[in-house]
Structure 1
């Protein structure tokens, strides 16, 4: 269960990274509200994956 969840989150992280890269390239700045929103969502996904990894180590 945790493995499949981590795979799904990993794919979402990859998708958001591409989305973030494209938005920065398109906007040309990193402080645009759209970029900040994408970045925050990416941070949440990364934290979720880290929690799964840490829970497996215990």
Structure 2
């Protein structure tokens, strides 16, 4: 029986830790959505930076 009590205690402790971490994370990122945060690594790929060849072509025009 003590093993059953210990198992229940540990599982309740893990559930409470999960709920606290989930609430803290959702409170911290209240302004952003899951889709936006999932696409954040792609932001740098979408930015256009002209190369030196493009700049020289534009300067000569």
TM-score, L = length of structure 1:
0.47
TM-score, L = length of structure 2:
0.45
- Greater helix percent: which structure? 1
Task: Mark the structure with the bigger radius of gyration.
Answer: 2
